[in-house]
Amino acid sequence: MSFPLELVTLLGSSAGGGLLAFVSNLAKARQAERTYVLQALNDKAHIVDQARRYESRGFAWTRRIISLTAVFFVIAFPKLVAVYMPEVPVYVGYTEAKSVLYFFTSDTSKTVWKQMSGLVITPLDTHLLSAIIGLYFGGSLVK
């Protein structure tokens, strides 16, 4: 039994056409999937961009008030008290390390407190002020 050549051509072209249609539909489905993925990424990027552009004036003022209050009451207020009432004693504490000669022991440290009067600027004042200024300007620079 032999098949006519027209029937072989018809079946071959039908199978080839079906295969090409399947591949075309598969490519269209992939293109649609990529379009949906890109659209979802664009929507996500838009949401992230909106979240990054959020600006709260109240938060900036809260930071300013906290930093200025801390600077005033930790740094300026004790200095003003010392200027206007120099008889008020100021206690300054610092650590002294005592070195031990043995290699298997560590240095011992103790805190020494000294009483002073008048206007006293301690290393703690300068460290604290530089830390507060660094935090305030560092937060502003990140923006």
List, for residues 38-74, the tens digit of each pLDDT value: 999 999 999 888 888 777 767 778 888 888 898 788 7
Chain centre to alpha carbon of residue 60: 16
Query: What's the sign of the alpha-carbon dihedral 44, 46, 50, 53?
Result: positive
Q: What is the mean pLDDT of the chain?
A: 81
71/29 same-domain check: no
Q: Which long-range contacts (CB under 8 A, 24 or more apart) does 57-64 make?
A: 63/136, 63/139, 64/136
pLDDT in tens, 80-104: 888 888 888 888 877 777 666 666 6
50/67 same-domain check: no
pLDDT at position 22 over 80: yes
137/78 same-domain check: yes
Number of domains in the chain: 2
21/88 same-domain check: no
The predicted structure's pLDDT at residue 79: 82
Q: pTM here?
A: 0.40
**Hey, how many other C-beta atoms are within 10 angstroms of the C-beta on 110?**
8
124/63 same-domain check: yes
82/137 same-domain check: yes
The residues, any chain, with a CB within 8 Å of residue 119's CB and separated by 6 or more, are: 79, 82, 83, 86
**Range(s) of the domain holding residue 11:** 1-54
Question: CB–CB of 107/91 below 8 Å?
Answer: no
Residue at a domain's end among 37, 54, 71: 54
Q: CA distances (Å), 65 to each of 69, 109, 111, in order?
A: 6, 37, 33
